[in-house]
Amino acid sequence: MMDEIELQRRLGNFKGAENIARLELKRAEMDGNEPYYHFYKGLLWYLYNYPKEAMNNFNNSLLTENLDIYYVYKFKGIICLETGELDRAENFFKRAMSKAKHTRHKDWKMSIETCFGNLYSRMGKFDNALECYQRALKTALELGSEEWIETGFCNVGVAHSNLGDHKNAARFLEDAYEVATRINDKYGKRVCLNNLASVYNNMGRHEEALELFKEALKYAAEIPDKFGMRILYNNMGYTYRKMGDLKNAIAQYEKALLTAEEIGDKKGAALAKYWILQLDSELQRSLAMH
């Protein structure tokens, strides 16, 4: 069942992943299966963005079999990564990889390679991140998993971008978008277009970037992917800033703020507020000079 939950999360169907986890939690409760009860409760707390509660339940799950403990270690690592405990995250990912290597599940190793790539990206070790993403992509191509191939192309593209190789970044992100389109993955298309637009911004191609952000926003609205919409509004604000259009930049940051507050994204709201205040002051000074 975790494979299906993971698939739904990769496709951006977070509500679907949540619903499956809820059903499994209820099943474990009815069966009196305390380890699995805590595991799925921890997973739900993670999906609700409550890392402390999630970690407490994962600690109480006490699962020991390879299949079970792999996911416990993996999600503990992801929680530590998201809360900035990078050394602990690395330790949990290593333990998950150790379990994955002793199974026939190549997709598990691929998933953990991706986790390591995300970790090394956070650490600023972009060469290491690229190597991890490339290994994950190689396995995805061997398995013929379209969803993972899309994810692999996208991650390799972002890694190239972090290394300043914008040409290769664009090439891999375009490949990722092609796969996302082929399998009709709207969430994937949103992610690919957002990353590709960011590469265009880095190349100074701001007008092209803006058009891609607008296209990505359509997919985010269709899903709907409110968090993705907040990111896109923020990135469009940045793009208008680079183009010197402060009024439109402020308008996009205001949309980002409203969306962030709607979904309880405190960090996103704080970032949007900062730029609204900064740009408003800059705009007022500019008007006063004229």
Sequence-distant (6+) residues with CB within 8 A of 133 are 113, 114, 117, 152, 155, 156, 159
**Tokens coding 130:** 């690229």
Query: Which among 232, 131, 235, 159 is positioned nearest to 189, based on CA atoms?
Result: 232
Burial category of 96 from C-beta neighbours within 10 Å (exposed 0-12, middle 13-18, buried 19 and up):
buried
Q: Rounding to the nearest 10 degrees, give the CA dihedral for residues 20, 21, 27, 28.
A: 160
Name the pTM for this structure.
Answer: 0.84
Query: Which among 175, 173, 172, 162 is positioned nearest to 202, based on CA atoms?
Result: 162
∠ CA 207-208-209, nearest 5°, is 90
The pLDDT assigned to 86 comes to: 96
Please give the C-alpha separations between residue 118 and each of 57, 77, 195, 220, in angstroms, as whole numbers.
Answer: 24, 11, 15, 23
Please give the C-alpha separations between residue 240 and each of 153, 267, 273, in angstroms, as whole numbers.
Answer: 28, 21, 16
The predicted-structure confidence for 272-289, as pLDDT tens digits, reads as follows 999 999 999 998 887 777
Q: How many other CB atoms are there within 10 angstroms of residue 222's CB atom? A: 12
The pLDDT assigned to 63 comes to: 65
Sequence-distant (6+) residues with CB within 8 A of 205 are none
**Tokens coding 214:** 């607008």
**Residue stretches of the chain with pLDDT short of 70:** 1-2, 7, 9-13, 63-67, 290
| H-type alpha helices, the chain | 2-10, 14-31, 34-47, 51-61, 66-82, 86-100, 106-123, 126-143, 146-162, 166-182, 186-202, 206-222, 226-242, 246-263, 266-289
The pLDDT assigned to 103 comes to: 77
The pLDDT assigned to 11 comes to: 62
Query: Which among 138, 145, 158, 150 is positioned nearest to 179, based on CA atoms?
Result: 150
Q: How many angstroms separate the CA atoms of 35 and 60, rounded? A: 7
The pLDDT assigned to 276 comes to: 97
Please give the C-alpha separations between residue 223 and each of 11, 54, 228, in angstroms, as whole numbers.
Answer: 10, 26, 10
Contact indicator for 255, 231 with CB cutoff of 8 Å? no
Please give the C-alpha separations between residue 160 and each of 49, 102, 137, 179, 189, in angstroms, as whole numbers.
Answer: 29, 31, 14, 19, 19
∠ CA 156-159-161, nearest 5°, is 115
